[in-house]
A = this chain, B = another copy of it.
Amino acid sequence: MADLRKGKFILIYDDEKREGETDLVIASEFVTPESIKTMRKDGGGLIFLMISKEVANKLKLPFLADMYSHINNKYPILKELVPNDIPYDSKSSFSLYINHRKTFTGITDIDRSLTMKKFAELIKKTEKLNDGQAIKKFGSEFRSPGHIPICVGAEKLLDERKGHTELVISIMKMANLIPAGSGCEIMGDNGKALSKDKAKEYADKNGLVFLEGKAIIEAWKKWSK
């Protein structure tokens, strides 16, 4: 957690998923263009933002799946595409995709890091605002659709669900950081997620901490008592 507070990447291995998957994770408040480059080059998966349910509630960020179910009479294709068969989960944790309004295309390293860092700052800035002011502030700085997907953790975090969003938000809380994490799944050369052994090798080579999901769950149990 010291590394997270220093703005370094850590690796989190999540064995809840069939094949196991390792994410490159960094506190969003410390994201730079260089961090995005590391994630796209060494990770290769989706570069996304993870936030707590409290933050989503404050900023009125909906789950896409809920939003789709409220508008599927007008857009019947949403009924057909309903994500009722996600193999590792009962529900999609995707919320909106955003860009900071000062981005240009939204996809360069500079643009994606701006969106992520400014989002972490927004969380801080809106803490003391009421809900109406908070969403005004949010909208004055960001637009949607955009290029950064937001995943929202379960309300009770690891006491409720053990996905990578919950692992990351729990560790941010334990480290006393803004509850927004930036992450990217690490891909292997064989078309699948990088194996656990190879992910450990990568961590060693780059001097990064490698954490197993279960270690975070254990730490959380003690910390949240």
List chain A positions with a Cβ less than 8 A from chain B.
17-19, 21, 33, 37, 40-41, 44-46, 59-62, 64-65, 67-68, 70-71, 74-88, 92, 94, 96-99, 101, 104-105, 107-110, 113, 135-136, 138-140, 142-147, 149, 185, 187, 189, 191-193
Contacts and interface: CB of A to CB of B under 8 A. Distances in A.
A17 B104 contact: yes
B41 A44 contact: yes
A75 B37 CA distance: 34
A147 B110 contact: no
Contacts of A185: 105, 107
5 contacts: A70-B71, A81-B98, A83-B144, A83-B146, A105-B185
A108 B192 contact: yes
Number of copies of this chain that the complex holds: 2
Contact of A187 (B62, B87, B108, B136): B108
A64 B145 contact: yes
Chain A interface helix/strand/loop/mixed:
mixed
A193 B105 contact: yes
B101 A138 contact: no
B189 A107 contact: no
B105 A144 contact: no
B86 A192 contact: no
Contacts of A65: 145
Contacts of A83: 99, 143-146
A110 B75 contact: no
A74 B70 contact: yes
Given A94-B145, A105-B21, A143-B86, A191 B37 contact: yes
A130 B6 CA distance: 58
A80 B62 CA distance: 14
A125 to B, nearest CB: 15
Contact of A107 (B45, B87, B107, B135): B45
B45 A191 contact: no
Nearest to A137: B80
Given A81-B142, A105-B193, 17 more contacts: A17-B105, A33-B191, A40-B40, A40-B187, A41-B41, A64-B145, A70-B71, A80-B138, A81-B96, A82-B139, A84-B143, A88-B105, A94-B97, A108-B187, A108-B192, A109-B187, A109-B192
